[in-house]
Structure 1
């Protein structure tokens, strides 16, 4: 019997050596989780008498090799698609349709723009709708769309400005854009047509009376609705005694009940072959360009524009990609625009030690692990993401080297058990 006891000890020591050696071999493997061998003693049982009260054990058996899913150190890499999970969860990847779960967040793109790991498995997450909102609940493979961002025609322009109430009326009349003495203040804003072409909308302001100003508007230096004409659109701004805007009127621009102007008949233009301004083949936003000037004031301070926004933009190409701690992927484009292009999803399990190792630092679902709970990072029990970083192996090299010495000693001691039993057997044989 002692031979079997010693042999089981040798097998156990050899298993411990294999587990320790595997941990040491993967000390630099991204997302690797160390394992430990767990052993149990063995006692002989009788069908009728049960185990002997004072019976000697019959050796040792390997109960299981369990993986330790403790957090590894997060190391910055600077690569935009590298991701580390800080807390619970696994990245979900698709390996030819089969789901594999991993903590290794070293991702890149393939020739189709899919976000993939080093083995070609595709990262999974949530897509976005036409408005850039994440469509949660339905997993799909994430893809970096490198196609050009379509242009957007300007339909809203908001301005906050002050017109100096102490300004004198211009010395030259009537208004002439080429003569700076015919107006008090001017500024320009870039607006865009349906093809993403940029145009310059210029507004001129001339004081005409106490608390009253005239505004003149051109686009690319010509009449907005008739590129062949240089006559500007005009409007009148009247102010209250406290400097706030009282009313807005115009025969060229539509004015709504809130005092907002709308340039509803703008014809985007450019110089043709003859050098004349004419339609460039594009169109303006369907509802026109609304100019919100309701915050305009007339105080005793310099005329100035303090805030200005417009919502149009030209065609843009993807210039960079960033990921936040909730897994949202943001694409930044050469035209200054940015949009959400997807969200990374994470999975967690009731019993992570029940996962089946798949190799390549991945695991598969099993009956012991339970079904995956899928959600966005930083939601529920899911950890957060750190972009531009990777999670190192959680192997404690010092502890593993100590375990190596212990396993070696155990192996030698069990070998001595077998050697002693062999000596006893030889003695008995020689006595007979």
Structure 2
């Protein structure tokens, strides 16, 4: 009887259903496991009798397929960054290094001794390597091969701050001192790193420009020589109340206001005596004498703008027992202007054809014109070649140059430093010492006389919102921020302060080291030299964008630099798009690879191969590899594992169903056996 075979197929199918449900229940806690279900098909032996009819009862049941459910399981978060889960579709690709490629949803990975990312059974996770520009390389084994991160010297620095507009610059100490907080308005320190990874600091001191003033003390001079300050003291010979050229004085022919009225005769102390005096006491700017015509007069001593107090400046007579001379009046007249420029015009009609000597601010210059004369511009350029000597002898001068656009034939331009401005229009002496004076200088008609400036161009007399910025390496060594080097031709710089300016009406940064900050344009960068002791050629680019001068507390609004020391590997993490990121002890991170996710045209065609892994088959098609989050691939979750998608309640119900089916098929066998016994007993 066929019924016995039919009942047997039912028993076999029920047993398979029990096996599948039992396997699901057994793997209900297996990471990445996908539940299976038993699919049945009936068995018929076709025997057609007549059209559209059949008289066969069927041959039983068969297990047509054990299908897997690839729906995602619940994500459970862990404390291990190497635990990975795919939030969506896709599979991890694993390589066993023996030619076997499998696919898995179980993302419990770890690093082996060689730095490869491997599964629990040692198979290597596949992904994209990256080159130096983070371009993806062909798919291969993902590995962490960089165990340390080399140091990087600081090359870019951003600093934004607010300086309190309510700060009063007149309360600052008269002499700037980097070690005295009362001599600067605001200070901040930023850390940097050299090329070997050593940490340093750059301290910025910002000094608001004081309203420029010159303090003049008038002293009733005796009918004798005087001694002025210093060690050793400098003797100024007055020759019984009348100064002499031999003592270093020269008569100034311009009018000026002295202590007793206008249009007084003025004698001014010249180099080299003045230079010697300034070396003994650098606060002194100038010394002038106003004779009264009666054998005496007024001695005027002018101090620099940034040294408003005389302090230990002592003026005594030259008697056997010197007595201090007491100031009789003090004048606080402001300087002419900051960045004052003076122009001296040449007469180009007839230059001398022989060798002659000129003197600019105490510096002698020999000029050989040769046959045929020399143009005014070439004479000026010859003077320009001695610019450094002129500046060295006169520290108030910033530059000496030729300006072809001034006057008829051009003019020699003398520009003063913005920090210290001259006290008069005649502080620079330009003279000629031969018989051809009238031929060389149009404004001078006296042989050997000093040439006054043909005209003076005032500078900016407003100091509101103007700051000198100093920088120091480790709080001690002055740094080069771009201050024009003497002679200030723009091609070289030296350590020292640069100027920044804020618009007094808006508090917005308006100028950086002489470069205008235009609305909506980028703020000019400053180049810091000397801040890397390990590599003197390293230059740091400093940007002050966002800095302001508002009436609020002085604060740092932003501070950043791109240097760091050497770092050791402390961990690996993954982004949602599969980026494998190595973290180092110096705070830096490095993207070292990208996880590859496999997808299939027919994932139901994958062949289970154990260890919650599958192999590709002809039915599934080849793997399509792409990063997470692209196409239909799910995103990657680090420090998470996908749990089994087994529904225990459903599996227990399936056990009941399989048991019932088994019992029913057993009953079929029992019934058939009874029928058979009955037949045998007939």
Which bin holds the TM-score, normalised by the shorter protein? 0.7 to 0.9
Is 1:217 aligned to residue 474 of structure 2?
A: no
Aligned-residue CA RMSD in angstroms? Answer: 2.5
2:587 corresponds to which of 336, 342, 361: 336
Partner of 2:158: 158
CA distance in 1 between counterparts of 2:71 and 2:200 reads: 58
Which runs of structure 2 are paired with 1:284-303 in the superposition (5 Å)? Answer: 286=538, 288-303=539-554
For the residues of structure 2 that align with 1:12 and 1:110, how far apart are their CA atoms?
A: 44
- Tell me if 1:357 matches 2:611: no
Alpha-carbon contact 1:125-1:140 (below 8 Å) kept: yes
Partner secondary structure for residue 179 of structure 2: coil
Contact 2:47 2:55 in 1 (8 A): no
The answer as to 2:229 corresponding to 1:192 is no
Pick closer, same or farther for the CA change 1:120–1:284 going to 2, 3 Å.
farther
Paired residues for 1:236-385 under 5 Å: 236-242=499-505, 243-249=507-513, 259-264=524-529, 266=530, 268-269=532-533, 282-283=534-535, 286=538, 288-385=539-636
* CA displacement at 1:106 relative to structure 2: 1.1
Listed as ranges, the matches of 1:97-116 within 5 Å are 97-116=99-118
Q: CA deviation at 1:180?
A: 1.9
Deviation at residue 422 of structure 1 after TM alignment: 2.9
Partner of 2:307: none
The CA distance in 1 between the partners of 2:670 and 2:183, in whole Å, is: 113
Give the whole-Å Cα distance in 1 for the aligned partners of 2:543 and 2:147. Answer: 33
Residue 377 of structure 1 deviates from its aligned partner by 1.8
Q: What is the alpha-carbon distance in structure 2 between the residues aligned to residue 162 and residue 77 of structure 1?
A: 45
Tell me which residue corresponds to 2:141. 141
Deviation of 1:49 after TM superposition, in Å, equals 8.5
Q: Which residue does the alignment assign to 1:40?
A: 41
Aligned twin of 1:118: 120
TM-score (norm 2): 0.56
Return the offset for 1:246. Answer: 3.0
1:17 is matched with which residue?
18
Kindly indicate whether the alpha-carbon contact (under 8 Å) linking 1:153 and 1:284 is maintained by their aligned counterparts in 2: no
Distance 1:330 1:350, change over 3 A: same
The one-character-per-residue Cα deviations of 1:12-68 (angstroms, maximum 9, x if unpaired) are 112111111111111111111111111111111359999961211011111111111
Give, in whole Å, the separation in 2 of the partners of 1:429 and 1:195: 102
Q: What residue number does 1:275 align with?
A: none
Contact 1:45 1:51 in 2 (8 A): no
Question: How many angstroms does 1:386 deviate by?
Answer: 2.5
Give a deviation string over 1:194-237, Cα, whole Å, max 9, x none: 11111111111112242321111111221347xxxxx9532122
Structure 2 CA distance, aligned partners of 1:134 and 1:418?
A: 69
**Counterpart selection for 1:234 from 497, 509, 514:** 497
Residue aligning to 2:417: none
Q: Which has the larger radius of gyration?
A: 2
**Alignment coverage as a number of residue pairs:** 404
Deviation per CA, 1:229-267: give whole Å up to 9, x if none: xx95321223333233333338xxxxxx95321024x26
Structure 1's 294 and 83: CA in aligned 2 closer, same or farther, altered over 3 A? closer
C-alpha spacing 1:54/1:118, structure 2 compared with 1 (3 Å): same
Distance 1:200 1:346, change over 3 A: same
* Alpha-carbon separation, structure 2, partners of 1:151 and 1:66: 55
TM score, norm. by length of structure 1: 0.86
1:401 to 644, 652, 660: 652
C-alpha displacement of 1:134: 5.6
Structure 2 distance, partners of 1:259, 1:29, is 61
Contact 1:222 1:232 (C-alpha < 8 Å) held by counterparts: no
Deviation at 1:357, TM superposition (A): 0.4
Cα drift, residue 353 of structure 1: 1.1
Are the counterparts in 2 of residues 31 and 361 from structure 1 also a CA contact under 8 Å? yes
How far off its partner does 1:143 sit? 1.8
For 1:249 and 1:182, the matched residues in 2 are separated by 21
Three-state SS of the structure 2 residue aligned to 1:160 is: strand
Distance 1:284 1:341, change over 3 A: farther
Mark the runs of 5 or more structure 1 residues left unpaired by the alignment. Answer: 226-230, 251-256, 270-281
The CA distance in 1 between the partners of 2:172 and 2:668, in whole Å, is 115
Q: Distance in 1 between matches of 2:66 and 2:513?
A: 82
